[in-house]
Amino acid sequence: MGNTCAPPRERESTNNFQAYGLGEKELYDRSEVAQATRNSTAFSVPDPKAPSPVLSVPRDEQGGGWPFNIFSGNPSERAFLSVGEALGHFYQERLLPLELDSGFHQFHAVELAPAHFLARPLILTIGQYSTGKTTFIRHLIESDYPGQHIGPEPTTDRFVVVCHGEEVQKIQGNALVYDTSLPFTPLSSFGNGFLCRLECARLPSPILEGVTFVDTPGVLSGEKQRLRRGYDFEEVITWFVDQAAMVILFFDAHKLDISDEFKRCISALTGSFQKVQILLNKADRMNTQQLMRVHGALMWALGKIMESPEVARVYVGSFWDEPLEAHELAGLFEREKDDLYTQIQHLPRSATVQKINDLSRRARLVKSHALLLEHLRNSMPSIFGQAQQWEDLLRRLPSVYLEVSQKSGVPLGDFPDSESMKQKLAMTDYSKLPRLDQKKVEKLNVLLSNDIPSLLRLVPAEEF
């Protein structure tokens, strides 16, 4: 793909603050995002002329007591150029073997691409059609991009990855999944029905040096419209949610209805609500009393959908290039916009910790999954009554979770949702349940007890 994999060029800082309506005391300079990215070890670009690595670890795969040794020349140690590269190594060596053995990818999530650990933080936008997702991205990058469609009708009918490139370029989905410099290779598992609705827009932009956006199709209503997509929309959304550093849910203040498909998408955020930001968009087009009623209705509706004791932060305003209409809450809208842009500005700095956190969460899920399948396998009779015993185990799966938790010491909170797991186990051949390899479990334990804490000690305090 030519120069698409080239490292980002250094750019001069451009202070287009008025385009965002920010005050002098709360400046949002988008070039700072790019600078934060360049300073973060999670996104450092390896220099082929570099005389020595920035960190190294022992080659001993058991990982016994490894501290990082800066500029070590010890041949018994494995050298890494960044924390992100070390994370990728530990995933491949400590976690992936158990994922493959236990069939984790068939039950929960596909294998992570090597580029995932070095990728820029991903911002996923989700919302019903004409809620302002595409306009929001265009507003931030201050440029049109290939594949952009804006209108009052359902215009964006595909997933568009908007990322940095040295020149404007459009990459179709079937080619994108073979670009190993980007973390989207696992998307090939969704087949041509999805890949023909996936594309990547690369273009030079200061903010894209720090983050990558994903513009999604407008969520539809009605079963016929859902089936017409040709792929499982909610499953694809779940994959992107797992990869994202931030998920922004868009709501139009003038049409607050939430379709069934949108509800299912929001439900897919379970376990990732810490990533979620909510935008109540186009708010300057209604008066204060109407806006208060709409805000209250949105909070009530989300409280019924989100399985969380606290609803995520709701940003109220109009996030586009057009000047705001005269409104008594204009000052509030500007402060809300400032707060959201500050959250985006901090993403590159906190991306390393986010990736460590996500890997830790995934490792705990893999461990609970593997121990659960081992317990189910050991609970099956050798010859007679297997089908009946399998049905009984699935029927009382929450109790089985408790048994495994008490036996292994794994917290109940690490286990997957019992109803979802029950449905997947019902389609599983119980005669082919894998045998647990304790050595691979020990490697995973080393990842959780040794490797991840050691990596966290290397992350600068300002990135937390």
Q: Which residue has the higher pLDDT, 143 or 326?
A: 143
Task: Using the predicted structure, report yes or no on whether residue 61 has a pLDDT greater than 80.
Answer: no
Distance between start and end Cα atoms, the chain? 35
Q: How confident is the model at residue 452 (pLDDT cuts 50, 70, 90)?
A: very high
Which residues, other chains included, contact 141 with Cβ-Cβ below 8 Å and sequence gap of 6+?
162, 203, 205, 207, 208, 213
Q: Which domain holds residue 99?
A: 84-114+360-458
For residue 135, is it within any domain? yes
Higher pLDDT pick, 303 / 211: 211
Which residues, 6 or more positions from 215, have their beta carbon under 8 angstroms from its beta carbon? 125, 133, 134, 137, 147, 148, 156, 159, 160, 162
Q: Is residue 31 part of a domain?
A: no
Q: What is the pLDDT of residues 364-416, one digit of tens each?
A: 999 999 999 999 999 999 888 899 999 999 999 999 999 999 999 999 999 99
Same domain, 167 and 94: no
Domain presence at residue 463: no
Distance, CA of 431 to CA of 453 (rounded, Å): 38
**Which of 69, 66, 72 minimizes the C-alpha distance to 52?**
72
Q: Find tokens 């073979």 and name the residue.
A: 178
103 and 127 assigned to the same domain: no
pTM: 0.78
Residue 296 sits in the same domain as residue 367: no
Q: Are residues 216 and 126 in the same domain?
A: yes
CA torsion angle for 327, 329, 332, 336 (degrees, to 10)? -60
177 lies in some domain: yes
CATH number at residue 443: 1.10.268.20
Note the pLDDT tens digit of each residue in 155-179.
557 899 999 999 999 999 999 999 9
In a domain, 75, yes or no: no
Instruction: Give whichever of 140-149, 321-330, 338-347 has the largest mean pLDDT.
Output: 338-347
Residue 224's pLDDT is: 47
Residues in the chain: 464
Instruction: Reduce the secondary structure of the chain to three states and give it as a string.
Output: CHHHHCCCCCCCCCCCHHHHCCCCCCCCCHHHHHHHHHHCHHHCCCCCCCCCCCEEEECCCCCCCCCCCCCCCCCCEEEECCHHHHHHHHHHHHHHHHHHHHCHHHHCCCCCCHHHHCCCCEEEEEEECCCCHHHHHHHHHCCCCCCCCCCCCCCCCCEEEEEECCCCEEEEHHHHCCCCCCCCHHHHHHCHHHHCCEEEEEECCCHHHCCEEEECCCECCCHHHHHCCCCCHHHHHHHHHHHCCEEEEEEECCECCCCHHHHHHHHCCCCCHHHEEEEEECHHHCCHHHHHHHHHHHHHHHHHHCCCCCCCCEEECCCCCCCCCCCCCHHHHHHHHHHHHHHHHHHHHHHHHHHHHHHHHHHHHHHHHHHHHHHHHHHCCCCCCHHHHHHHHHHCHHHHHHHHHHHHCCCHHHCCCHHHHHHHHHCCCHHHCCCCCHHHHHHHHHHHHHHHHHHHHHCCHHHC
- The reply to whether 93 and 207 lie within a common domain is no
- Number of domains, the chain: 2
Q: What pLDDT, in 10s, does the model give residues 181-216?
A: 999 999 999 999 999 999 999 999 999 999 999 999
Domain membership flag for residue 337: no
Residues 452 and 395 in one domain: yes
Q: Residue 222: which pLDDT band, with cuts at 50, 70 and 90?
A: low
Mean pLDDT of the 432-445 span: 94
| Main-chain phi, psi angles of 128, to 5 degrees | -70, 165
For residues 209 and 141, state if they share a domain.
Answer: yes
**Claim to verify: residue 168 and residue 287 sit in the same structural domain:** yes
CATH of the domain at 259: 3.40.50.300
Residues 322 and 385 reside in one and the same domain? no
pLDDT of residue 78: 67
Residue 384: per-residue pLDDT: 86
What are residue 344's DSSP bridge partners? Answer: none
Tell me the range of 42-56, 192-206, 257-271, 446-460 where mean pLDDT is highest.
192-206
Residue 389 shares a structural domain with residue 298: no
77 domain residue, yes or no: no
CA–CA gap between residue 428 and residue 346 (Å, rounded): 43
- Confirm whether 350 is domain-assigned: no
> 422-457 burial by CB neighbour count: b if 16+ within 10 A, else e?
eeebeebebeebeebeeebbebbebbbebbbebbee
Q: How do residues 98-140 score in pLDDT, each as one tens digit?
A: 999 999 999 998 899 999 999 999 999 999 888 889 899 999 9
Q: How confident is residue 20, by pLDDT bands cut at 50, 70 and 90?
A: very low
Minimal CA–CA distance to 167: which of 354, 379, 9, 339?
9
pLDDT band at 225 (very low <50, low <70, confident <90, very high): low
pLDDT score at 229: 74
Model pLDDT, residue 402: 96
Shared domain for 368 and 454, answered yes or no, is yes
Nearest residue to 274 via CA among 330, 348, 350: 350
Same domain, 295 and 419: no
Q: How far is CA 255 from CA 81, 180, 222, in A?
A: 49, 40, 17
Average pLDDT, the chain: 80
Residue ending a domain, among 326, 348, 378, is 326
Residues 6+ apart with CB under 8 A from 340: 277, 279, 315, 319
